A and B are shown apart, each in its own frame.
Chain A
Amino acid sequence: MIIMGFSTLQTFPLIEGLTGPQTLDVLHKRITALGARVSGQFVVDCETYFSAPSLLPGNSQRVLNVLHNTEEPASVFAILEGGAKQPVLVADTLLDALLPKMAVLYTSNKKQTRIESKGNRYEMGDFVVKLGSVTMSGSFKGILVEVCYLACVVPALCWEMVWEFMQSFLGSTVPSTLPPYIQSRQNATFSPTDTIQMYLEKFNEFRKQTVAR
């Protein structure tokens, strides 16, 4: 049985008048003041592959997102978007070696589509907090805060406490409801793929922002 707890993910808007790194610095100060200590770095990255036109009939296109999370260093997550379902594949790192061989079917422009959230990992009792600055193809996009509560795997049972804990250093920016992806499965056991799904959602949001601008 894999016990990894429950994670929630949210964006943190930049504090007015401060840049991204400065905002992160503020958060760092707040959370270390609470007693958390840094326990290394973390990276969650996502690469996107687009299906070749010949693969599917009609004009439809599938998007293959390949994600890595340093919390699961031996795994590669692949999520296929564009269909009725979003199948999630968890594989070992050989998948990375396999993808270049499928370049005919799924092509990727690595420089433009790579998006990642990178930053410090903090530990504080049962809580693990990750403050990540999101960069897409090298440019800063925003801040993602992941809070993980290791002692519970059912989101509905511990959301209140996690929410309260998050408010202590994120302030009023914390939404009072569970992230939309979790809401539908708040009584189910939380798994690492759920974290990845949430990251993908947020990454897609950031991408849309770019498009809007």
Chain B
Amino acid sequence: MPVRPKRGLMMPLSMSENLARLAAKIDWSRSDGEEDGDEAAPSSAEGDGDADSQVTTFQQPTWPWESVRNKIRDAYTEVCVLSDVLSIARHKRYMVLDGVTQDAPEPKQIIQVISKKKGLAAAAQILSEGAERMRENLAEQRRNRNNNDFYTELLRLRQKWRLRKVGNNIIGDLSYKQVGSRFWLSGTFEVKKAEENAPALPPPAPGLPPVPPSPIIVTVPSELQGAAFIYVTIRKDQETLCSARLTHPGSTPLPVPQSQHWSDRLDAAQNVLFCKELIAQLAREAVQLQPRLPHMVIGNEITSTIFPGIHLVMGLAHSARPERRPAAAPLPPVPAGPLGDNNYVLEHSLHQLLRHMHHRNMHHAMPHPASAPMGMSKRRRQAGPGAASRGQLLKMVESETLLESIIRQARHVVLRMRTAFAIDSCAREIKDPLIVTHWNSVNSPTQSCCKVNIMTHGYDSVHRTTFLINVLEDSLRCVCRDGRVMTVSYETSELHYIILCQVSQHNLLAAQSLGRIMGWTVKSSSSGQGGGGGGGSDASQTAQSGGGGAASSSCVLSAPGGHCYVAVRCQPHGEPVTVSVAQSPKRDFFPTALVTEHKWEHLGGAFRQIKWEKMEGRNFLNKMELLMANLSSGTGSIM
């Protein structure tokens, strides 16, 4: 239907006007069945806003709100249906709501693959760029840290070791030259920066975390690599009497692996240097000295005889290059005893002696004249202007060498052991008077002192014999209570002899003081009556002294009443004490042809020996006490 619209300016409809216009279109009187035919009219009316006035005028609905009503009714019906459907669907009993599957579009595979590839490549590039950046960053960090580590380690190294820069290298010095050593071997080592990508070291033990590689590499000359120690052994035939091992204090004599920290490796190398210098010095002295029995220097071992049959062996054990030939490393002859047997005095002395020598090389008595050469003693300086003769000059240069002092100390060690053994064996042998020794704990390396107490068990306060043994280098000096000084050679039999003498003297003196306590009188006492049986009144005693020299001693004690005598005779050879008794007058008198009257019996009778081993009593003094008590009680039952 052609519609000719009126053209002209119209104001847009207001809300109320619009509602009224729309309401006019609704045909309220129409039934539901008619609504299908009317559908197009409102839709076209809605779509064309400008021509509404014409449409309404044209259709002329029967009732102005009819269409509106129809629409609302339709809507209402639909909403009702929808709510029914929803309520049914909600129970999920009869109906289930399900998504509508749409058919996927036909995939084009090549395009897909290409696009995926492109996407992946882009992602990969981003990732790899990021990783690269991170790696660079990390490397830079590590480089910086390594550098820092290197310098801090270098600083630490410098605090402990002497370093200097030669060209582009850093050279360190671990020799003892700075402190006065004159050893030829140069103890230089080289310090290098470790490579960044050095292979990580294997962990030292499965349980421990891996050690980070040290930023410093220390290169030690090959002759100082490995581990070394000096062993000092005192041997009698094949038996080791005493041994000492000289290593760097605190370090083990085991080879240091290459991978160890620089400080350990340098310590080990310095120890090798020290040991080498010491053995070189000892060997030089051993060759120079000319004792009666020449020292033997074979390879790295010095042997010298300190006593007949006893040798002092000093040697250098150096296991060089342990990493190259671990099996063939020269196994150091381990001293027979365990390391606990280490003689620390010897070890300490060896250390000290070389250091003393270094010290002497460095430190000279002040003041020196500026014109005089360094290192001269004052006497040596004055020798020139004083026209000192050759003999005097020779006397000046004489000084004790290391070897000599070590030999002296070794002698002392041996002698001390021997002395202790001799005294102990005496104490084991002689049961009756107890022999007790006290060794002074403070000794010098070449002198020690031992106090020997001899006393009888249970009679400690009655008498006590004390003497002192000074153990020197090759002789003993025994100082007795009475001021006698005896010098004894290194043969222990002489010491044994002295102890036996002291024991016999102790017995005699103890018997006397016991007698005095019990009111007896000492009639005679003599020590040193020769080896024969002339002393005392013991006629039956005809013992001959085995060694001669040491004298037997005897004493005679008389009872308080003077009616009986006891004679004691002590032999210094370990023979038993003999005791004899004489009584006068005898209680029973039988006149004979010679002695006719009883009064002659007052002159004293013959001594009769007591079977001492049959006597009651724990020990000699106890027996004496019993004997004297018995005799002084006057019963004389012992006879």
Contact = CB atoms under 8 A, between A and B. Distances in A.
Interface of A: 2, 4, 70-77, 90-94, 191-193
Given A92-B381, A94-B371, A70 B390 contact: yes
A10 B372 CA distance: 37
Contact of A75 (B371, B372, B373, B383): B383
Contacts of A90: 384-387
A9 B381 CA distance: 29
- Most chain B beta carbons < 10 A, residue from A70, A75, A90, A93: A75
B398 to A, nearest CB: 15
26 contacts: A2-B386, A2-B388, A70-B390, A71-B389, A71-B390, A72-B387, A72-B388, A72-B389, A74-B380, A74-B383, A74-B393, A75-B383, A75-B387, A76-B384, A77-B387, A90-B384, A90-B385, A90-B387, A92-B381, A92-B384, A92-B385, A93-B384, A94-B373, A192-B387, A192-B389, A193-B387
Contacts of A72: 387-390
Nearest to B371: A94
B392 interface: yes
Q: What 10 pairs across the A-B complex have the smallest Cβ distances?
A: A92-B384, A192-B387, A74-B384, A74-B383, A75-B387, A72-B387, A75-B384, A90-B387, A4-B389, A90-B385
- Most chain B beta carbons < 10 A, residue from A72, A77, A91, A191: A72
A73 B386 contact: no
Contacts of B387: 2, 72, 75, 77, 90, 191-193
Overall SS of chain B's interface: loop
A139 to B, nearest CB: 29
A15 to B, nearest CB: 31
A72 B393 CA distance: 8
A176 to B, nearest CB: 29
B407 to A, nearest CB: 29
A91 B385 contact: yes
B385 A75 contact: yes
- Most chain A beta carbons < 10 A, residue from B371, B384, B386, B387: B387
Contacts of B381: 92
A25 B238 CA distance: 56
Contacts of B371: 94
A73 B385 contact: no
B384 A91 contact: yes
Nearest to B396: A74
B376 to A, nearest CB: 9
A92 B389 contact: no
A2 B390 CA distance: 11
Contacts of B390: 70-73
B372 to A, nearest CB: 8
B394 to A, nearest CB: 10
A74 B388 CA distance: 7
Given A74-B383, A74-B388, A192-B387, 13 more contacts: A2-B387, A2-B392, A71-B389, A71-B390, A72-B388, A75-B383, A75-B384, A76-B384, A91-B385, A92-B381, A92-B383, A93-B384, A94-B371
B395 to A, nearest CB: 12
A70 to B, nearest CB: 7
B435 to A, nearest CB: 52
Interface string B263-302: 0000000000000000000000000000000000000000
Interface string B248-266: 0000000000000000000
A71 B390 CA distance: 5
A4 B392 CA distance: 10
A92 B387 CA distance: 8
A73 B393 contact: yes
Interface string B355-380: 00000000000000001110000001
Interface string B379-416: 01101111111101100000000000000000000000
Contacts of A75: 383-388
A7 to B, nearest CB: 11
A73 B383 CA distance: 9
A93 B385 CA distance: 9
A74 B393 CA distance: 8
Nearest to A77: B387
A77 to B, nearest CB: 8
A70 B389 CA distance: 9
A49 B613 CA distance: 97
A199 to B, nearest CB: 13
